[in-house]
Each structure stands twice: as structure tokens, then as C-alpha cells.
Amino acid sequence: QVQLVESGGGLVQPGGSLRLSCAASGSIFRFNTMGWYRQPPGKQRELVATISRDGTPNYADSVKGRFSISRDNDKSTVYLQMNSLKHDDTAVYYCTLTQASGRYWGQGTQVTVSS
């Protein structure tokens, strides 16, 4: 089993920044992809960004140029730096880890963008 624990969510004004972190523990395989999804109020869960073990990122069009994903393989941790936040970025953000044994999810952290 894999456990994922997110941190760093909160309330921020439009145009502000937040940094999310997610630490993985348990039976982590050497090759995996980590990432972030989000679920806005009343909407379906959607991809935000993913990053492979070698550091190759993939972003949703809605966050390109504003968000940056990175990872520390030694710490089994993935980060999401969110800049120029908008009202539409308000959502519960979920960390994921995908490996040969399946996809695992964190419990989510709330990000609210409001003035």
C-alpha cells in the first residue's frame, strides 16, 4: 500500500501564490508518476499536472505558465507551485502516485482563491 499526505492548501487572494506538497510512503516502486488533480465545487475531478520519475512534466492547458510541478525522489515528495491564482483555481487538490501496482490518492487539500 501507498500513503499520500498533502499539505500547503489554504485561502489566498487572486494573483497570489501557494505551494502544495505531497509526501508518499509505503510500497513505492522505483518507477512511478506523481501528480495533482483537482475537483472544483460542483464539478468533476480534473488533471492539473503530472511528473515522471525523470522529471518530465505534463500540465493541463488551464495552468500552463502559472503552475510548476517538481519532485524530490529521495524524499518521495511532489510539489506544486501555484502562481497568479484565479478564482477558477478554487478546488480540492488531490495528490496521486501511479505505479505498476495501481494509482493511489491522497485525501485532498482545499485551495480557496478569494478576495
Q: Report CA-CA distances (Å) from 42 to 21, 32, 39, 63, 95.
A: 25, 30, 8, 20, 19
State the Cα–Cα distance between residues 54 and 67, nearest whole angstrom: 19
pLDDT of 51-102, one tens digit each? 999 999 999 999 999 999 999 999 999 999 999 999 999 999 999 999 999 9
pLDDT of 33-55, one tens digit each? 999 999 999 999 999 999 999 99
> What is the 3 state secondary structure string of 22-48?
EEEEECCCCCCEEEEEEECCCCCCEEE
Q: Supply the pLDDT for residue 92.
A: 98
Task: Please state the rounded mean pLDDT for residues 21-40.
Answer: 95
Q: Supply the pLDDT for residue 103.
A: 96
